[in-house]
Amino acid sequence: MQPTGNLVADTICRTAEIGLTITGAADAGAITIIDATPVVVTGLCPDCGHAGKLRDHILRRLVDLPVVGFPTRLHVRVPRFLCTAISCPRKIFQATLSCADDGAKLTHRVTRWILQRLAIDRMSVSATAKALGVGWALVNQVALDACRQLVYDDPHYLDGVRILGVDEHVWKHTRKPGQPSNLVTILVDLTPLVDGRGPARLLDLRPGRSAEVLRTWLQERDPGFREQVQVVTMDGFTGYASAVDQVLPDATKVMDPFHVVHLAADKLTGCRQRLQRETTGRRGRKDDPLYKYRRTLLTRTNYLTQRQKQRLDMLWATDDDYVALEVTWLFYQDMIAAYGHPKKSEGKKLMDRIINTLRKGLPKGLEELAQLGRTLWRRREDVLAYFDIGASNGPVEAINGRLEHLRGIALGFRNLNHYILRCLIHSGQLQGKINAL
């Protein structure tokens, strides 16, 4: 059957592309109702394949894309048939629509539109549901189900992952931020970024932060995936390093430069606070020089103003009690210089010299540097691997920040499973798959 419809209306509402033609329309206040019929109806029984005899028509109501800013409902007049095969157990069947699955409330293109709004336009579920004139729960469930199909049901989703980034992420801020239930482990594919093919993509999130979490995730992957992973970037958490050693013994571990420098900055701050207590017997006050210059001490020398340099020179020259702080500060700046060297080979030599110097033994009063030296020596291969490979956890930290933005859009999450799937929609680089739906 080939019904006649309104060509202009079909063109404006683009119903022809979903196999429908418009026969009428009505204004129902905040919602636009469009009457339509299928362009082509086969009338074959889905069980036996025999042609059916027209019995009657039913009205199927579907949510479609908004028209000129108003939510739209399709009222599709769908024919029903009687099966003519005597042996067929099915007696009555209705025509199948190409625009929506049987029993679905939304057309296929609405599912794609929802994912596009969430992944590309960074809209909230509430705003998306309002634009469609449906409930929050329906939009959220449609998005989550579609994301599961695009990610977990895709056998090729993990193909080509050679460089894997691992980091922790706080998915829920509470009064007790250190609770394990508030932490997740995020896994990021850095291969496209290193190869220059595109940005890094979020692969998965797992509840908790421990060696067991990462080890379990890696063991659940097929052997082909584990064999293709050549590099794993991470922070200084030894749990992740031990998991990689156990499951991916041939992979190269890279301790991220940001976390190495941050570790040195923590030791510098710890030294400053210790000297503050030893020299004044109290915590820092706004007029105390050690407290006043706390931010200046953490600034790279290249970015210091002339006035800041003079202040630091005066600080080192006025009091011998600050010698330990000056030595710690010099090592901190040397580490930054090693990572910032234009030649990675020279930077590696500088970092290797720093690690060996701290390892040989330090005089009394440099407790923080001694702690830093022990950590760097224990992870020296991972620290130096950065200069040979060049991959870092910087893009992972960037995704970490985008997930913080997602949580702000949604005004927080309470369901971790929902949060994981929403994160994959937001930062999983699924735009190509979404547009192909």
Q: What pLDDT score was predicted for residue 178? A: 64
Using one digit for the tens of pLDDT, what is the confidence trace for 353-372? 999 999 887 888 899 999 99
Contacts of 258 (CB under 8 A, 6+ apart): 392, 393, 394, 397
Q: How far is 75 from 63, CA to CA, in rounded Å?
A: 9
Higher pLDDT, 86 or 262: 262
Task: Return the residue matching tokens 């000297």.
Answer: 275
Highest mean pLDDT, choosing among 11-20, 89-98, 345-354, 361-370 = 345-354
Q: What pLDDT score was predicted for residue 5? A: 55
Q: What percent of the chain has pLDDT over 90?
A: 71
DSSP line for 162-180? -EEEEEEEE-S--S-TT-G
pLDDT confidence bin for 43, thresholds 50/70/90: confident
Look at residue 75 and tell me whether its pLDDT is greater than 90. yes
Task: Return the residue matching tokens 């301790």.
Answer: 255
Q: How far is 132 from 67, CA to CA, in rounded Å?
A: 10
**Token pair in block for residue 168:** 């922790």
Q: What pLDDT score was predicted for residue 372? A: 94
Using one digit for the tens of pLDDT, what is the confidence trace for 301-328? 999 999 999 989 988 887 678 899 999 9
- CATH node for 163-256+392-435: 3.30.420
Question: Mean pLDDT of all residues in the chain?
Answer: 91
DSSP line for 381-418? HHHHHHHHH---SHHHHHHHHHHHHHHHHTT--S-HHH
User: β-strand 92-94 against 163-170: which pairing, if any?
Assistant: unpaired
Q: How many CB atoms lie within 10 A of CB 437?
A: 14
Look at residue 200 and tell me whether its pLDDT is greater than 80. yes
Look at residue 244 and tell me whether its pLDDT is greater than 90. yes
Residue 281 dihedral angles phi and psi, to the nearest 5°: 75, 15
Give me the mean pLDDT over the 271-290 stretch.
Answer: 89
Q: What pLDDT score was predicted for residue 284? A: 85
Nearest to 422 by CA among 128, 156, 193, 131: 128
Give me the mean pLDDT over the 33-45 stretch.
Answer: 91
Higher pLDDT, 4 or 100: 100
